Amino acid sequence: MDLALPLLAVGAFFAGTVDAVVGGGGLIQIPLLFSTFPQASPGTLFGTNKLASVLGTTSAAVQYSRRLTIPWRAAGPAAIAAATGSWLGARTVVLFPPAALRPLILILLTAVAVYTFIRKDFGTQHQRLTNASREQRRALAIGAAVGFYDGFFGPGTGSFLIFLFIRFLGMDFLHASVSAKIINVATNLAAIAVFVSHGEVFWQVAAIMGACNLLGSRVGTALALRHGAVFVRKAFLFVVIVLILRFSYDTFLT
C-alpha cells in the first residue's frame, strides 16, 4: 500500500493534466486503482476515482471560465440531465457488468477518431446553433446519455462530450472542453453521492489522488488556453487513439 501511493499520486497528476485538456483522465486512474486494489469491489474503485477527479475537474472549469465565455444555454441543461443520468448509471453498476460495454465503446471511439481525423476543420470554429430550443434539446439528450455512461463506466466521458458538443452544437474544441468540465463536475458529484452513501470509497487514497489531480488540472488548463483549439484537437485525437488501444486490449486480449 505504502509503495503504491506514490504511483497513484503520479498517475493522478497526469490524469488531471490530460483530463483538463480533452478528458480521458479515467483511462489513467481507473487501471491504476484496479491494479493496486485487485480484491476491491468495482463500486469502491469507481467511487474513489470519482472523488479523486472532482477537484481537478472543478478547478479546470473555473480556470476556463475566467478566459472563455461559458455557453450556459447548452451547458446548464446538459449538466442537469447528466447529473441525473450519472446517478442512474452509478446505481446500475451493481446490476450489470460495465465490461460488457467494451465492444460498443470501442466501435464508437473508432468512429469518433475517424470522423475527427477526416474533418480537418472539425472543432476549429465556434458557430453555435441559432435556434435556442433546438440547442437545449440536443444538450439535454447529450447530457443524459453521456451522464449515464459516466456514472456506469466512465473512461472517455470527457472525449465523448467534447465530440458531441462540437458535432451537434457547433462549438470549437475550447468551448466544448469547458462545457464538458461543467458537466463532468455534475456527473462526478451525482455518482459520488451514490458511492459514498454505500460506503464505497477509499478516503485516504482519494484525498492524495485528488490533490495531485488538482495540480495536474491546473497544468493542463494552462496548456489548453495558451495553445488554443488546434492543440486541443491534436490532444483529443491522441487520447481517443489511446482509448481505442486500451479498449481493444481489454476486449480481445484479456
Q: What is the mean pLDDT of the chain?
A: 86
How much is the average pLDDT of 159-185?
90
Grid-cell match 439535454, residue found? 140
What's the whole-model pTM score?
A: 0.82
Per-residue model confidence as pLDDT tens digits over 54-69: 989 999 989 988 888 8
In eight-state DSSP terms, residue 124 is S
Region of 154 please: left (phi>0), alpha (psi -120 to 50) or beta: left
Interatomic CA distance for residues 219 and 214, integer angstroms: 9
Predicted local distance difference test score (pLDDT) of residue 1: 52
Predicted local distance difference test score (pLDDT) of residue 30: 84
Instruction: State which H helix or E strand residue 7 sits in.
Output: helix 4-22
CA distances in angstroms from 242 to 3, 39, 109, 138, 222, listed in the order given: 27, 26, 10, 28, 22
Strands (E), 123-247: none
Per-residue model confidence as pLDDT tens digits over 186-226: 888 888 887 788 777 899 999 999 999 999 999 999 999 99
pLDDT category of residue 93 using cuts at 50, 70 and 90: low
- Take residue 29 and report the three cell numbers written for it: 486512474
Interatomic CA distance for residues 13 and 17, integer angstroms: 6
With 80 as the cut, is the pLDDT of residue 94 above it? no
**Number of domains composing the chain:** 1
How much is the average pLDDT of 134-163?
87
Are the CB atoms for 176 and 123 separated by under 8 Å? Answer: yes
Reduced to 3 states, what is the DSSP secondary structure of residue 246?
A: helix
Q: Domain range spanning residue 173?
A: 4-252
- Take residue 183 and report the three cell numbers written for it: 458537466
Angle at 18 between CA 24 and CA 47, to 5 degrees: 50
